[in-house]
C-alpha cells in the first residue's frame, strides 16, 4: 500500500471511527488496514489513533495529520482530474445523503442522466429526514431543505421552495379554517420534531417580518411522509413545501388554509465539508444538483 492509499485509509478510519468499516468501504481486509496504520505510526514516530473497544478517534497528532491529509488528497485528485486531454473524468465512489421526498421528487427520476454523463462515478445514496454527520459518517455531500446553522460546512443554495399551510377537508369541517394569524392559535397541528426535540413552528411573513406560531398537537412525527399522512387523516394542520403535497391538493385530499398569509420560501442547499470542496466528484455532482433543482425555483 503506497503513501496515498495509506492516507486515504487513515482518513476513512477517522471519518467512520472504525477500522473494520473503513477497510470494508475501501474493499480491504481488516488485517491489511490494521497493519498499514501500525506501519504509518511507526514511520512517523507518533500515535495517530486512540483505540477503544467500541470506537477509534484521532489523537491530537492524528487530527493534525488528518487535516493535512484530506487537503493533500483533494489536491492530488484535483490535479489528476485536470491533466490529459480535456482532463480525466471524475471517478470513484461518491457518498451522498438527501431528504427522502426531495430525492424521490427531483433527483432520483433523473439520476440516470448523471451516471450516463459520469460513468466512472459510483453513488452510495442515503435518504431520510435526520441530520447526518458528514465527517463522522464519511459522507461527501448532502442535499438539505431549510435554513443552515452549521458554519463548518460549505453551502451552496440551489433552489427555494414555496411553502403552504394545509389540512384535510375533514379537519376543516370539524374545526373550521383559520381566517387570521390570531385565529390560528385556536387550532392544532401535526408537529414535525426537530433534532432538538422541539416542534418546528409555523412561519408567516407579516409586514416584512417573520411571525412564528407553535401549535399544540396530538401527534408528533420525525418523517416527512408520516407528516403528510397524518394531515390527510385530519389530525391537524401542517406547513411544508408545496411540491410535497401538490398531488394531495390537486386530488382534494388536502386544502390550503390561510392562503392570504405567505410563508417564507424554504431554501434548498448542497452542503459538503471544507475538506471535500476540491473533489471533482463533489463539484460535478453539486453542479448537476443545481441544474436538477432549477425546476423548483
CATH for 16: 1.10.10.10
User: pLDDT class for 117, splitting at 50, 70, 90?
Assistant: very high
* Co-location of 172 and 217 in the same domain: yes
Chain segment 20-53, per-residue pLDDT in tens: 888 988 889 989 999 999 999 999 999 999 988 7
Nearest residue to 36 (alpha-carbon basis) of 13, 53, 17: 13
Residue at 108 is within a domain = yes
* Co-location of 210 and 150 in the same domain: no
The rounded mean pLDDT for the chain is: 87
User: pLDDT class for 79, splitting at 50, 70, 90?
Assistant: low
* Co-location of 277 and 253 in the same domain: no
- Check residue 85 and give its pLDDT: 46
Contacts made by residues 44-48, CB under 8 angstroms, sequence distance 24+: 48/10
Cα 196 to Cα 136: distance, rounded to the nearest angstrom: 19
| Final residue in a domain of this structure, among 54, 82, 110 | 82
Cα 213 to Cα 207: distance, rounded to the nearest angstrom: 16
CA 160, 163, 164: angle at the middle one, nearest 5? Answer: 165
| Final residue in a domain of this structure, among 21, 55, 82 | 82
- Check residue 81 and give its pLDDT: 60
Tally Cβ neighbours within 10 Å of residue 42. 9
Specify the number of domains making up the chain: 3
User: pLDDT class for 229, splitting at 50, 70, 90?
Assistant: very high
Q: Which domain holds residue 201?
A: 163-264
Rama region for 226: left / alpha / beta (φ>0; ψ in -120 to 50; rest): alpha
CATH for 276: 3.40.190.10
Cα 13 to Cα 22: distance, rounded to the nearest angstrom: 5
Residue at 124 is within a domain = yes
* Co-location of 249 and 175 in the same domain: yes
Q: Which residues are CB-contacts of 256 (< 8 A; sequence separation ≥ 6)?
A: 164, 165, 166, 249
Q: Which residues are CB-contacts of 147 (< 8 A; sequence separation ≥ 6)?
A: 267
User: pLDDT class for 100, splitting at 50, 70, 90?
Assistant: confident
pLDDT at 108 exceeding the cut of 90: yes
Cα 60 to Cα 49: distance, rounded to the nearest angstrom: 9
* Co-location of 249 and 279 in the same domain: no
- Check residue 235 and give its pLDDT: 97
Residue at 87 is within a domain = no
Chain segment 168-215, per-residue pLDDT in tens: 999 999 999 999 999 999 999 999 998 788 999 999 999 889 999 999
| Final residue in a domain of this structure, among 62, 82, 102 | 82
Chain segment 134-162, per-residue pLDDT in tens: 666 667 888 888 776 655 678 888 888 99
| Cell 448532502 belongs to residue | 142
| Cell 462515478 belongs to residue | 121
Amino acid at each position: 500500500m503506497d503513501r496515498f492509499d495509506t492516507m486515504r485509509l487513515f482518513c476513512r478510519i477517522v471519518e467512520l471511527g472504525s477500522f473494520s468499516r473503513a477497510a470494508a468501504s475501501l474493499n480491504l481486509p481488516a488485517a491489511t488496514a490494521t497493519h498499514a496504520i501500525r506501519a504509518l505510526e511507526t514511520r512517523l514516530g507518533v500515535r495517530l489513533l486512540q483505540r477503544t473497544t467500541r470506537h477509534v478517534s484521532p489523537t491530537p497528532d492524528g487530527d493534525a495529520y488528518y487535516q493535512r491529509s484530506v487537503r493533500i488528497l483533494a489536491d492530488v485528485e484535483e490535479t489528476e482530474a485536470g491533466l490529459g486531454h480535456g482532463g480525466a473524468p471524475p471517478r470513484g465512489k461518491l457518498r451522498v445523503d438527501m431528504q427522502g421526498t426531495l430525492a424521490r421528487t427531483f433527483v432520483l427520476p433523473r439520476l440516470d442522466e448523471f451516471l450516463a454523463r459520469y460513468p466512472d462515478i459510483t453513488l452510495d445514496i442515503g435518504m431520510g429526514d435526520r441530520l447526518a454527520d458528514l465527517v463522522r459518517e464519511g459522507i461527501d455531500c448532502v442535499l438539505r431543505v431549510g435554513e443552515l446553522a452549521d458554519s463548518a460546512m460549505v453551502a451552496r443554495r440551489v433552489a427555494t421552495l414555496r411553502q403552504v399551510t394545509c389540512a384535510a377537508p375533514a379537519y376543516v369541517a370539524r374545526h373550521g379554517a383559520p381566517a387570521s394569524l390570531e385565529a390560528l392559535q385556536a387550532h392544532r397541528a401535526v408537529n414535525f420534531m426537530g433534532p432538538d426535540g422541539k416542534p418546528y413552528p409555523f412561519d408567516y411573513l407579516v409586514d416584512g417580518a417573520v411571525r412564528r406560531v407553535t401549535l399544540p398537537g396530538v401527534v408528533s412525527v420525525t418523517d416527512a411522509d408520516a407528516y403528510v399522512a397524518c394531515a390527510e387523516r385530519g389530525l391537524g394542520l401542517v406547513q411544508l413545501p408545496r411540491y410535497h403535497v401538490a398531488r394531495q391538493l390537486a386530488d382534494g385530499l388536502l386544502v390550503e388554509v390561510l392562503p392570504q398569509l405567505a410563508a417564507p420560501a424554504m431554501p434548498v442547499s448542497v452542503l459538503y465539508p471544507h475538506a471535500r470542496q476540491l473533489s471533482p466528484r463533489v463539484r460535478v455532482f453539486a453542479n448537476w444538483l443545481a441544474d436538477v433543482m432549477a425546476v423548483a425555483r
